[in-house]
Structure 1
Amino acid sequence: MSIDHWGTSPGDVLEVALAAIETSLEQLLAMDPTYWRTSQKKDYLARVEKLQAQQTALTLRVLAVSGDIAAETGDKDASAWMRAELLVDKGAARSQIKLARAVAKYELVAAGLTAGVVSEAKARVITETLDKIEADPVTTGEDLVLAGKLLVDYATQATAKELHNAGKRVLTAIDPDRFDEAEAKALLAEEERAQQKTALRVWDNHDGTIGFDGVLPTSIGMRFKKQVEAWAQPRKQRLVDKGAPLPPWERMMGQGFARLIETIDPTALPRHGGDATVVNVVISLEELRKDLGTATLGYDETNGTTITAAEARRMACNATIIPWVLGGDSEVLDVGRGSRFFVPIQRKALRLQQKCCQAEGCDMPPEWCDAHHLEPWAAGGRTDLKDGVLLCPHHHRLAHNPAYVHERLPDGTVRFTRRP
Structure 2
Amino acid sequence: MSVQAVAEHPVSRCVAEMAASLAAVRDVDAIYLPAAAHRDALVELTRLAGQLEELRMRVIDAAGGPGGLAQDDGARSPASWLASRTLTGYGAARRAELLASAISQRWGRVGEALADGRMRVEQAHVIVKALDDLPSDEVAADVLDRAEAHLVALAETYEPRKLELLASRILEVVAPEHYDELERQALERAQRRANNATRLTIHPRGDGASDVKARVPDAVASRLRTLLEAWTSPRHAASSGDVSGRDPATGARLTQERLMGLAFCSLLESVDPARLPAHGGASTQIVITIDLEALRSGLGHGTLATSGDRETPVSVGEVRRLACHAGIVPAVLGSRSEVLDLGRSSRLFSPAQRRAALLRRRTCAGQGCTIPAAWCEAHHRRDPWSQGGTTDLDDLELLCLWHHQRAHDPTYTTERLANGDVRFARRT
TM-score, reference length from structure 2: 0.78
Please give the secondary structure, in 2, of the residue aligned with 1:200. strand
Name the CA distance, whole Å, in 2 between partners of 1:81 and 1:399. 63
- Counterpart selection for 2:60 from 60, 63, 88: 63
Aligned runs of 1:60-209 on 2, under 5 Å? 60-66=57-63, 70=70, 74-105=74-105, 106-133=107-134, 136-158=136-158, 160=160, 163-164=163-164, 166-167=166-167, 169-171=169-171, 173-177=173-177, 180-209=180-209
Which AA in structure 2 matches 1:390? L
Q: CA 1:230 to 1:85, structure 2 compared with 1: closer, same or farther past 3 Å?
A: farther
Q: Is the 8 A contact 1:364 1:392 kept in 2?
A: no
Name the CA distance, whole Å, in 2 between partners of 1:140 and 1:410. 73
Which AA in structure 1 matches 2:221? G
* 2:405 matched residue in structure 1: 397
* 1:364 matched residue in structure 2: 370
Q: CA 1:87 to 1:4, structure 2 compared with 1: closer, same or farther past 3 Å?
A: closer
For residue 94 of structure 1, report the CA deviation from its aligned partner: 0.9
* 2:337 matched residue in structure 1: 330
1:211 and 2:211 are equivalent in the alignment: yes
1:274 and 2:265 are equivalent in the alignment: no
Task: Give ranges in structure 2 of 5+ residues lacking alignment.
Answer: 1-5
Which stretch has the larger CA shift, 399-408 or 298-307? 298-307
1:27 and 2:54 are equivalent in the alignment: no
Q: Is the 8 A contact 2:329 2:345 kept in 1?
A: no
Name the CA distance, whole Å, in 1 between partners of 2:180 and 2:133. 16
Q: Is the 8 A contact 1:53 1:118 kept in 2?
A: yes
For residue 381 of structure 1, report the CA deviation from its aligned partner: 0.8
Which stretch has the larger CA shift, 294-303 or 380-389? 294-303
Which AA in structure 1 matches 2:311? G
Q: CA 1:229 to 1:284, structure 2 compared with 1: closer, same or farther past 3 Å?
A: same
For residue 118 of structure 1, report the CA deviation from its aligned partner: 3.2
Q: Is the 8 A contact 2:63 2:70 kept in 1?
A: yes
Name the CA distance, whole Å, in 2 between partners of 1:268 and 1:290. 35
For residue 311 of structure 1, report the CA deviation from its aligned partner: 0.9
Name the CA distance, whole Å, in 1 between partners of 2:316 and 2:387. 14
Count matched residues.
Answer: 409
Task: Give ranges in structure 1 of 5+ residues lacking alignment.
Answer: none
Deviation sequence 1:160-182 (CA, Å, 0-9, x none): 45544554554454444456544
Q: Is the 8 A contact 1:232 1:255 kept in 2?
A: no
1:309 and 2:316 are equivalent in the alignment: yes
Please give the secondary structure, in 1, of the residue aligned with 2:394. coil
Name the CA distance, whole Å, in 1 between partners of 2:264 and 2:313. 22
- Quick one: higher RCO (CA 8 Å, sep 6+), 1 or 2? 2
- Counterpart selection for 1:263 from 258, 270, 275: 270
Please give the secondary structure, in 2, of the residue aligned with 1:280. strand
Q: CA 1:239 to 1:113, structure 2 compared with 1: closer, same or farther past 3 Å?
A: farther
Q: CA 1:19 to 1:140, structure 2 compared with 1: closer, same or farther past 3 Å?
A: farther
Deviation sequence 1:305-360 (CA, Å, 0-9, x none): 1111111111122223222212244322223333433333433443443554444x
For residue 269 of structure 1, report the CA deviation from its aligned partner: 2.4
- Counterpart selection for 1:253 from 250, 253, 260: 260
* 1:17 matched residue in structure 2: 21
Deviation sequence 1:22-46 (CA, Å, 0-9, x none): 557x525x99xxxx99x99999987
Name the CA distance, whole Å, in 1 between partners of 2:133 and 2:112. 21
Which AA in structure 2 matches 1:197? A
Which AA in structure 2 matches 1:60? M
Name the CA distance, whole Å, in 2 between partners of 1:344 and 1:94. 60
For residue 13 of structure 1, report the CA deviation from its aligned partner: 1.2
Which AA in structure 2 matches 1:91? G
For residue 282 of structure 1, report the CA deviation from its aligned partner: 1.6
Please give the secondary structure, in 2, of the residue aligned with 1:94. helix
Deviation sequence 1:218-246 (CA, Å, 0-9, x none): 22222122222222225865459989664
1:381 and 2:389 are equivalent in the alignment: yes
Give me the identity figure in percent: 34
Which stretch has the larger CA shift, 59-68 or 222-231? 59-68
Deviation sequence 1:72-109 (CA, Å, 0-9, x none): 86323343354445443312321221112212332211
Q: Is the 8 A contact 2:289 2:302 kept in 1?
A: yes
For residue 60 of structure 1, report the CA deviation from its aligned partner: 2.8
Name the CA distance, whole Å, in 2 between partners of 1:318 and 1:44. 67
Q: CA 1:14 to 1:319, structure 2 compared with 1: closer, same or farther past 3 Å?
A: same
Computed over aligned residues only, the root mean square deviation of the Cα atoms, in angstroms, reads 4.0
TM-score, reference length from structure 1: 0.80
